Amino acid sequence: MRPLHYPSEGFGMLVALGLLIAACGCAGEAALPRAAGSAAGADPPGSGTLTVAPDFLLQSVDGTSVRLSDSAGRVRLIDFWATWCAPCREEIPMLNELQATYGDRGFQILAIAEEDAEVVRSFLEANGVRYLNLLGSAEVAEAYGVLGLPAAYLLDGEGRVVESYFGPKPRRVLVQRIEALLAASAPAA
């Protein structure tokens, strides 16, 4: 069997670029939520059925250490994003609104960008981002099975992944799920 021969080195670069664009969610298709699997424990990276959110310790853009488990009991949205990702940038107003609307009721966004701290800090200030942003690592992204951006994981108060989103997140579905999770975790009156 003969190896494949490409007409030029540029062809391989075009294929790689196409795969990168598709993985980024930059193709413009909205991501459908994927329900978490039912098995206990974390699933292998990339399986799409992560059931328990892996704990992490990351630095916020202001230098504070943040551990996921420190916010146990809250409904959380872990959002992997980047300053250069168009769909990620388009979601900022929605995420600001979700944090403002539900933050006092026990909801928290933990956005994770694997970029230079100053680049992220400048971007956040210029774009009015009002939710917690952390500086990510390849290890954390791998633990969550992140293969493209944006990627997000909605957690209940126990740290279980109830839905995962690959690509832009549907606002209506997020609102419904957040409200249901907050109602389920509210103490009985």
Distance CA 34, CA 119 (A): 31
Q: Map out the domains of the chain as residue ranges.
A: 31-185
Q: Is the pLDDT of residue 159 over 80?
A: yes
Mean of the per-residue pLDDT values of the chain: 82
**And the tokens for 31?**
């991501």
Confidence of residue 5 (pLDDT cuts 50, 70, 90): very low
pLDDT of residue 186: 76
Task: Decide: 123 and 92 in contact? Cβ < 8 Å.
Answer: no
Answering whether pTM is above 0.85, one says no
Distance CA 158, CA 152 (A): 17
pLDDT of residue 49: 60
32's CB contacts (< 8 A; 6+ apart) are 165, 170
pLDDT of residue 17: 40
Q: Which CATH superfamily is domain 31-185 in?
A: Glutaredoxin (3.40.30.10)
pLDDT of residue 189: 56
pLDDT of residue 185: 86
Q: Is the pLDDT of residue 23 over 90?
A: no
Query: pLDDT tens, 72-103?
Result: 999 999 999 999 999 999 999 999 999 999 99
35's CB contacts (< 8 A; 6+ apart) are 162, 163
Q: Is the pLDDT of residue 59 over 80?
A: yes
- % of the chain with per-residue pLDDT over 90: 70
Confidence of residue 188 (pLDDT cuts 50, 70, 90): low
